Amino acid sequence: MADVTKGHVILSPNTGTGDTQLTLKAESANVGNREIVKTVFTVKAAGVSPNKTITANLAAAPEFITLEQAYTGVTVPATAGSFTITGVSNSPKLEFSVEGGDIVEEDLGDKQFTADGSITATNGVAISGDPGADHKYEFSIEINYVLNDTVDSRTQVFTIQGSSESVKQTLTITQSAGAARLEVSPAEITVPQDGSVVNVQVTTNTTFTVS
């Protein structure tokens, strides 16, 4: 006997003779639909009119966001570049932001990202078609970061929020320390006999001593 699948619900069997018990279940565990998904199955029998229907309501899941890098965070080198944040959600919109720190300086206000495979969405704006109402979806966003010109590593908190403050995930971005640098200009200078002052400029991103 075969099954019939409609609206994320599997009904089995799809045929029978005499009294038969039908079973229904979600097509996969944790479909993630944020709203109830209603599906109507039609039962037909020879010589019987009208047909009978079974309405299956797939229970709604709570709104959620999960991040692949939530536990490990993201570590980037001192040089400028970009990284991608990925996750799964059923939120009607996603809002990305950074809190404190100087690693990510770009304006995320109208930053675009990818949702549900092919939807181009905008930060903080309702996702076209609201795929999360029907199923959980994957998302990804590429984030640019700047050069760390200091000799210390640094961190910044990245936040993703759904439709409310209660639906939020964060991860920590860690950037490696930059290389120490030291320059003097000019490297050779004439000091006047009359006691007047001349200057040499030291350019560095760390502490220095002169001996």
Nearest CA-CA partner of 32 in 72, 86, 92, 85: 92
Stated pTM of the model: 0.84
- What span, in angstroms and rounded, lies between the C-alpha atoms of 155 and 103? 7
Task: For the chain, 211 residues long, give each residue's pLDDT as a single digit of tens.
Answer: 699 999 899 999 999 999 999 999 999 889 999 999 999 999 999 999 999 999 999 999 999 999 988 889 999 999 999 999 999 999 999 999 998 889 999 999 999 999 999 999 999 999 999 999 999 999 999 999 999 999 999 999 999 999 999 999 999 999 999 999 999 999 999 999 999 999 999 999 999 999 9
Nearest CA-CA partner of 121 in 145, 98, 99, 89: 89
Q: Residue 143 in contact with residue 84, Cβ under 8 Å?
A: yes
Proportion of the chain in helix, strand, coil states, percent, rounded to 5: 0, 40, 60
